[in-house]
Amino acid sequence: MINVYKELVYHDARTFAEIEALILSITDSDEKLVSHNRVPAWVGKAKIHLLANWNKHVSLDDLAEVCGVHKVTISKYFSKYLGSTFRMYQRKIRIIRAIELIKLEKYSLTEVAFLCGFADQSHFTRFFRQTVGCLPKQLPKA
């Protein structure tokens, strides 16, 4: 959590990538990421599409169409290459963006929740606490 906050303080071009790596390293599973160089092209396409549409609802069917593979392939292998399930990865990206919005101190937590695609503030707060380890309102104090 402290590392995430440090990255937000020193905002530069690499910040999102570094925060993404920190957030994605927080995982409940013992699955290992594939460490060899043979990552299918659809994985990169999926990642780019999810990052570009972070605040929109992206269905598995939509992602399969963009990547040019069957949705079962994505469901089966997404966590192998990116370290979490499709939905969890999408939520983690939203949390990263939420941290950036909270840091701006321009929006209320309710507005941040809705801007990041969460149904309501309580859902956002619950997932934020599970992922980051503190409540969203405690973030600037870290």
Q: What's the pLDDT at 51?
A: 92
pLDDT tens figures, 39-71: 899 999 999 999 999 888 899 999 999 999 999
Cα 135 to Cα 7, 101, 114: the distances in Å are: 18, 14, 17
Residues 53, 116: contact at Cβ < 8 Å?
A: no
Q: What's the pLDDT at 103?
A: 87
pLDDT at 111 over 80: yes
pLDDT tens figures, 1-12: 555 555 555 555
Q: What is the chain's mean pLDDT, rounded? A: 81
Q: What's the pLDDT at 66?
A: 95
Kindly state the average pLDDT of the residues 70-80: 93
Per-residue tokens: 42:
């659809």
Largest CA distance in the chain: 44
The Cβ of residue 85 has, within 10 Å, a number of other Cβ atoms equal to: 15
Please give the model's pTM, rounded to 2 decimal places.
0.71
Residues 27, 21: contact at Cβ < 8 Å?
A: no
Q: What's the pLDDT at 104?
A: 86
pLDDT tens figures, 116-132: 988 889 999 999 999 88
